[in-house]
Each structure stands twice: as structure tokens, then as C-alpha cells.
Amino acid sequence: MSESHAEFHERLANIYRNEAKGRRSRKRVAINRDGYVIVRGAGRRRGIPWTGLMMVVVAFFGIKGAIMAQYGPDFYTQHVARLDGGSVVEQAAAWTMRADPVSRWVAVQIKTFK
């Protein structure tokens, strides 16, 4: 019985040492009022969602390319030029919707499927 008690206190001291050194694993360790050591898994780290951002970018250029393929580059350019003379919001929309090489390439690829 005394050996297990000594092992427990040794493990507890090791936990306290690691916390004092700042070496924390991906576990959250807490000691409740009764003296029990409770180990819980830490939550996931929040990072930049690269996959989601890439999906938004691909969808953006895909939609622009589809609109350019559907209406043609001249009609599309006229409507973007009409937005350019409006309010600040319309100017921002015109800046994002103007034709670029990627959306032109997507439009050409879509036209080949028709």
C-alpha cells in the first residue's frame, strides 16, 4: 500500500515539475478538491482553415469564369465598367469582379464544354 502511495506522489510531483517548467503536453491536468488528478484532452488548436479558404477562392474564380462564359467578355466588361462609376461599395465590387487571367482561363475552359 505504501509503495502505490509513494508512486502516486512521485507522479504528482512529476506533473507539478512539468507544469512549472512550462512543458505541457496536449493534455489539460487539473487537481480537484479531493486531491484527484484529472487529465482531460486539450481542445483542438484553432488555425487558419486553409482548405475552406481555398474552396472560397476556387468558387469565386469559378463563378466569375462561368458568368464570363455565359454572357461573353464584352457584355461582362460593360457591366463591370458601369459598376465602376457608382458608390464606394459598387467600386469595390467592380474591382473584385474585373476580368483577370484566371477567370478568363476558367471562361475558356467552360466554353470548350458547351
Interval 37-75: pLDDT, tens: 887 776 667 788 999 999 999 999 999 999 999 999 899
Instruction: Give residue 15's Cα distance to chain centre.
Output: 34
User: Greater confidence, 11 or 54?
Assistant: 54
Cα dist. 36→12, 30, 31, 42 in Å? 10, 8, 6, 18
**Range from 6-10, 15-19, 32-36, 53-57 that averages highest in pLDDT:** 53-57
Q: Are residues 57 and 104 in the same domain?
A: yes
At 88, the pLDDT band (50, 70, 90 cuts) reads very high
- Res. 114: pLDDT tops 70: no
| Count of other CB atoms within 10 angstroms of residue 16 | 12
Q: Are residues 83 and 54 in the same domain?
A: yes
Per DSSP, the three-state class of 85 is: coil
Q: How far apart are CA 108 and CA 103, in angstroms?
A: 9
Q: Are residues 72 and 28 in the same domain?
A: no
Q: Are residues 26 and 65 in the same domain?
A: no
User: Greater confidence, 15 or 99?
Assistant: 99
Please indicate, yes or no, whether the overall pTM of this predicted structure exceeds 0.75: no
Average of per-residue pLDDT values in the chain: 86
Q: Are residues 56 and 93 in the same domain?
A: yes
- Identity (one letter) of the amino acid at 46? R
Q: Are residues 58 and 27 in the same domain?
A: no
Q: Are residues 107 and 54 in the same domain?
A: yes
Range of the domain at 96: 50-113
- Report residue 34 as a C-alpha cell: 479531493
Q: Are residues 64 and 93 in the same domain?
A: yes
Question: Per-residue pLDDT averaged across 23-32, rounded?
Answer: 69
Q: Are residues 62 and 105 in the same domain?
A: yes
Q: Are residues 104 and 56 in the same domain?
A: yes
Q: Give the CA count within 13 Å in the CB-facing half-sphere of 9.
A: 5
Number of structural domains (the chain) is: 2
